[in-house]
Amino acid sequence: MEEPYQIIFVGSGAIATAMGNVLSMKQKYQVTLLSIEEDVVDSINKMHVNQKYFPNISLHPKLKATTDKSILNEADIVFLGIPSNITVTYVEDNKHLFNPVALIVNLAKGFGLDNKSIPQCLMRILPNEIFSMKGPSFAREIIGNLPTGFTVTSKKDKNFDLFSEIFESTSIYLDFTTDVEGVELASILKNIYAIIVGIVDAHFNSANLRSLVLTKAINEMRYIISKFGGKETTLFNYCGFGDFSLTALNDLSRNRTLGLLIGKGFFTSDIPEKVVLEGTIAVNVFIEEIAKKRGIKTKRLMIKELYRVLNEDDYDIKNFVNQILSVKRYKNSILDPFFS
């Protein structure tokens, strides 16, 4: 792979535009957004503005956009900046176009097909080396060039230095791990527990209670990640506690906002159908499919109570906090307060 690298972002939404703009500012790489939205492509190429997602922000002139998928064959690095529910299907449908030696980077947070992680699915479709980048990363702050952390993960670490080089001297800071499963799970679980924190905050404006629930959430995430063979230490990467705290405590988070709506009694069963919220999908997948196969005792988890909230029409949301606090405590260790 020789410079200048050809870097393609599949998608022209908020995250693809923001990260593409950051890399374009280095004026070192050829960065292109691959979009299906012709109006967005035109506004980026002609006015250097993404009128749909960042109408008031000027983009760097070196950032280009196109609707021509054939550029995938010329790419050195492809960032997949499209929603998790279409990422795998997109790659499957266009696999013949991808440069077989390009590095493929998944930015989506969610499950792929058949309750598998997106990297697991992509590795079955493409011969390429697959990466993920996950972290506490609101696109509106990335586009403002504010410092933002991401965890880069892949089964092999041989190209980690390349990512350090690409993002060097930008507002994006990286840490690295080969714990792909742990990173993917952390990025999914944080949405679930953000909903729980939102429900709690809707009922009580209590710093003590919020901190208690955050601690229980981290312990549950640690437990579930370890059950799937992930590393508990991954929670100390940007993708772990960093992304969870951003999602659970900031009102820009869609999943936290859903929790606030549920807690205030504004939740209706059709909300998840109107708005794709990764947390609601993940709750059902974990409880109905994955947990029972892994021998996870969900009745001792806050996630099980959230499952009841989302699936029982007569659930009394006023008792939610009491229910998640009534889980039996074990005297062994603070590290295992929930499980035996």
Tens of pLDDT, residue by residue over 153-178, are 999 999 999 999 999 999 999 999 99
157 and 80 in a common domain: yes
Closest Cα partner for 243 from 227, 257, 256? Answer: 256
Of 178, 209, 228, which closes a domain? 178
The verdict on residue 307 lying in a domain is yes
Say if residue 70 is in the same domain as residue 161.
yes
Per DSSP, the residues of 168-233 read TTSSEEEEEES-HHHHHHHHHHHHHHHHHHHHHHHH---HHHHHHHHHHHHHHHHHHHHHTT--GG
Q: State how many domains the chain has.
A: 2
- 3-class DSSP state for residue 271? helix
> Is residue 335 in some structural domain?
no
Instruction: Report whether 243 contacts 187 (CB < 8 A).
Output: yes
pLDDT of residue 333: 40
Provide the pLDDT for residue 268. Answer: 61
DSSP structural state of residue 59: P
Which positions of the chain have pLDDT values less than 70? 1-3, 267-278, 327-340
Instruction: Using the Cα atoms of residue 47, residue 150, residue 156 and residue 119 in order, give the sign of their dihedral.
Output: negative
pLDDT tens digits, 15-72: 999 999 999 999 999 999 999 999 999 999 999 999 999 999 999 999 999 999 999 9
User: Domain containing 213 — which CATH number?
Assistant: 1.10.1040.10
- Domain boundary among the residues 119, 144, 178 is at 178
Given this model, what pLDDT does residue 267 score?
66
pTM over 0.75: yes
Phi-psi region of 56 (alpha: psi -120 to 50; beta: other; left: phi over 0): alpha
Q: Give domain status of residue 318, yes or no.
A: yes
Residue 157 and residue 189 share a domain: no
pLDDT at residue 234, as a whole number? 97
Residues 165 and 195 in one domain: no
Give dist(CA 192, CA 168) in Å, integer. Answer: 33
Let me know whether 298 and 172 are in one domain: no
- Assigned domain for 55 exists: yes
pLDDT score for 327: 65
Domain coverage including residue 271: 181-325
**Residues 46 and 143 placed together within one structural domain of the fold:** yes
Show which of 153, 178, 203 is a domain's final residue.
Answer: 178
CA distances from 223 to 41, 62, 231, 237, 295 (A): 44, 45, 10, 16, 12
Residue 123 Cα to chain centre, angstroms: 19
CATH (domain of 26): 3.40.50.720
CA–CA separation, 287 vs 299, rounded Å?
10
DSSP 3-state of 25: coil
